[in-house]
Amino acid sequence: MKAKALRLPEDLLDVVKFAEKKEKIDEPTTLRKFLRLGAEKYVSDSYARGDISLREAADILDITTRETLELFWDAGIHGSAGAEETLKAISTVEKKVAKR
């Protein structure tokens, strides 16, 4: 893990202090948790806009594809594929199954 120094505005530090007391965790853990939540939100939004694929999102977050899907489902994001893409994928799978 790398160490980084940064300046934070007082209003953000107030939220960090609040979370520390509420969850009974130390400041570095709280900051890492907030950064993780922000990263997940940023990646989720990028996926929802269609800017990145599910696999790219999983790689960026360093979690499995399944965990990424669950994260997105919990955030109310059900996929970035449109009807045409979905039908094409179904057709491809059907062709592969028929060849067996």
| pLDDT tens figures, 6-30 | 999 999 999 999 999 999 999 999 9
Give me 62's structure tokens: 């360093």
The answer to whether 94 touches 61, Cβ cutoff 8 Å, is no
Asked if pLDDT for residue 59 goes beyond 80, the answer is yes
**Within 10 Å of residue 68's Cβ, how many Cβ atoms?**
22
User: What is the token pair recorded at 79?
Assistant: 């996929």
The band of 93, judged by pLDDT with boundaries at 50, 70 and 90, is: confident
Helices 65-74 and 27-48: angle between axes, nearest 10 degrees: 90
Q: Rounded to an integer, what distance in angstroms lies between the CA atom of residue 76 and that of residue 70?
A: 10
Whether the pLDDT of residue 58 is over 80: the answer is yes
Where do the H-state alpha helices sit in the chain?
10-23, 27-48, 54-61, 65-74, 83-98
